[in-house]
Amino acid sequence: MKNSLTVGDSPQLVAGRFNVLIVYFSATGNTAKIAQAAETRFKELGADVTTYDITSCAGRRKEIDFEPYQAVVFGAPIYSCRAPRVMREWLKTLDGQRKKASIFFTYGGFGVHPAHYSTRQILEERAFIVVSSAEFLGAHTFNLGGWRAMEGRPDASDFEMAKQYVDITYKRFTGEDDEILGELEATERTEEQLDAMEKFRFTVLTQFPTRDGEECSMCLVCEEICPGGAMDAASGKVDGGKCIACLACVANCPDNVLKINDMSASWLRKLEMEQETRESIQAKKSRIYV
Ligand SMILES: Cc1cc2nc3c(=O)[nH]c(=O)nc-3n(C[C@H](O)[C@H](O)[C@H](O)COP(=O)(O)O)c2cc1C
Ligand code: SF4
Ligand code: SF4
């Protein structure tokens, strides 16, 4: 267990200030955008803020010292109704030291629960006190392969909700509001059933990202960013046993040479399965849980 964690490039934290740490996982940038909006708002309210990206394996290997922070915000995309497995495993190594914490997710307009409930459960087991949670709409990762879910999100309405989320959360962090997060929607699904749901991604991503013989500038970004440690930049090949289908490599390749299969047919199947239309999905709103 990591008891003494230190963010490597720690900022100059000023004694006596209210220090908030925002830790986030973001494969394709939506969660990072909300983290950035939250940082801006916390600062407007007078807090000092440090953000830390745990998307890559290297990011999760680095130790974080929670000591200087009064409160911690955890941001994640929803993957099959939970936080990404690699992030859940990382959270289970932390020592919350009875610090106040908050959770936020971005998601593509489909399943949400039990993400809030299960992440809160992990954080409370690690001795954090969870005071709030929120979900924000974001373009679905699989839009990179032809889905059309939540295009253009997060948008102004989502960022406005992020501001309200920070206003509520900051009051709870500082003790101006001494409430903590109320009861959340659990699930009747077992861990095994939730684990089985994770396999759905590979009925959608049927061809792992590949350069398919194309030349590239060999910047190594795809390998460095890969949260599963699955990408080998030199060969352009992916270890299918480690790939979590996050598409960070595809989204971040500067040469745009990493290709996946066309997912358009699975988009139509998904809408039918969920009894949704593109319009009904698009009409969903970001939400705060208190
Ligand atoms: C493997 C995988 C599983 C996903 N599962 C869900 C899901 O259960 N419900 C949902 O609405 N969106 C789901 N999404 C979409 C992401 O939650 C959404 O696009 C999110 O904003 C991505 O965040 P990021 O850009 O920070 O990586 C999934 C995406 C991936 C890659
Ligand atoms: S990110 Fe793209 S350009 Fe960089 S090494 Fe990977 S495939 Fe090549
Ligand atoms: S190889 Fe798989 S796990 Fe790694 S970044 Fe690409 S999609 Fe994500």
Q: Domain with 153 in it: what CATH number? A: 3.40.50.360
- 163 and 249 share a domain? no
CB distance 139 to ligand 3 below 6 Å: no
95 inside domain: yes
Same domain for 228 and 110? no
Residue 73 included in any domain: yes
CA distance 232 to 216: 13
For residue 88, which of 125, 51, 62, 52 has the smallest C-alpha distance? Answer: 125
Mean predicted confidence (pLDDT) in 96-118: 96
What is the chain's alpha carbon radius of gyration, rounded to the nearest angstrom?
19
DSSP SS3 for 79: strand
Beta strand pairing status for 48-53 and 19-24? parallel
Residue 5 within any structural domain of the chain: no
pLDDT for 15:
67
Q: Are residues 260 and 125 in the same domain?
A: no
pLDDT band (50, 70, 90) for residue 170: very high
- Cβ partners under 8 Å of residue 248, min gap 6: 27, 28, 55, 222, 225, 226, 227
User: In angstroms, what is the span from residue 86 Cα to ligand 3's centroid?
Assistant: 12
Burial code (b: 16+ CB inside 10 Å, e: under 16) for 163-178 equals eebbebbbbbbbeeee
Q: Which atom of ligand 3 is nearest to the CA of 245?
A: 7
Q: Which domain holds residue 257?
A: 196-276
pLDDT of residue 275: 95
What does the pLDDT average to over 44-70?
96
Residues 219 and 159 in one domain: no
How far apart (Å, rounded) are the C-alpha atoms in residues 220 and 235?
11
7 domain-assigned: no
d(CA 231, CA 208): 10
Residue 186: its pLDDT value, please?
A: 83
Instruction: Tell me if 108 is assigned to some domain.
Output: yes
pLDDT band at residue 57 using 50, 70 and 90 as cut-offs: very high
- Same domain, yes or no: 234 and 184: no
What's the structural domain count of the chain? 2
Question: Percent of the chain beyond pLDDT 70?
Answer: 95
Neighbour order of strands in the sheet with 100-107: 48-53, 19-24, 71-77, 100-107, 129-137, 287-289
pLDDT of residue 20: 98
Reported pTM: 0.95
- 29 or 214, which is more confident: 29
Are 169 and 232 contained in the same domain?
A: no
Cβ count within 10 A of residue 155: 14
Residues 127 and 26 occupy one common structural domain:
yes
pLDDT at 74: 98
169 shares a domain with 82: yes
Query: Is residue 86 a contact partner of residue 227, using CB atoms and an 8 Å limit?
Result: yes
Residue to substitute in 30, 78, 103, 271 for testing ligand 1 pocket (most ligand atoms within 8 angstroms of CB): 78
Q: What is the mean pLDDT of the chain?
A: 94
Q: Is the CB of 181 under 6 A from ligand 3?
A: no
Note whether 180 and 201 are same-domain residues.
Answer: no
Q: For residue 249, give the CATH number of its domain.
A: 3.30.70
